[in-house]
Structure 1
Amino acid sequence: MSISTLSPVLAVSAAGSESAYQHFANTLQFETDCWDVNHAFEQGEPGFILIDVRSPEQYQRGHIPGAINMLRGKMIASRLAEYPDSTLFVTYCAGPHCNGATRAAMVLAKLGRPVKIMLGGITGWIDEGFNLTQG
């Protein structure tokens, strides 16, 4: 089979095991998922602040239990001062079609705060069958 007939999957060789492991381990420094967030909240004190970066109206219609609502423009040092500098923030938005969580994570990182995004956002949360809180 010539290179021109290889599928796009096979056209580039997979990384070696150590490189692949390091790459995937590195991604977990930047992101988490709905299952892990849900599990952390089920255990009691999750150890992070979950931030819904959608509009206040969307937040009121339904949000992840335990999440606070904070728009990117409100993410300023004085607003975050109530949290110790070591506090991990986890951001989420509407879902895979939205980059609000990533943009908010960038703001928090510029402020020197530890941050991850929750993959899937509210869409992923609902797809996993987890409940939302209104109000």
Structure 2
Amino acid sequence: MKSLRPIRTEDEYEAALAEASDFVDQEPLPGTKKADRFEMLLMLIEAYEAKHYLIAPPDPIEAIKFRMEQSGLTPKDLQPMIGGLNRVYEILNRKRPLTLKMIWKLHSMLGIPAQSLIKQADQLYAA
């Protein structure tokens, strides 16, 4: 077994993924050298992915709809955070952008990460 070191290239990343997949198929017993190696491989892979494969936050409206689905909410349930039912539908149908006040209320009342709710209006409502 090669010694572990930081992943710096795509080839090293692919090799680490291949080795890790072998461990996934036959997960080693906790506390063994193989289990320690597997854990270290996963940390190296995660560090490489965080640096090279940035994941953009979800679209704000999709984040709201996802939370609604998760929590069994209806558009009417969003009224305390967004306003009247017509305003809720305008937001959900992308006819109107979220305001800072709406973002804050959605974040604090529904626990939607603020980063997911904040996006440039021109990125969302471009024709």
Provide TM-score, normalisation by structure 2.
0.26
Q: Which has the higher contact order (CA 8 A, sep 6+)?
A: 1
Q: Rg: which structure is higher?
A: 2
- Bigger strand fraction: 1
- Bigger helix fraction: 2
Provide TM-score, normalisation by structure 1.
0.25
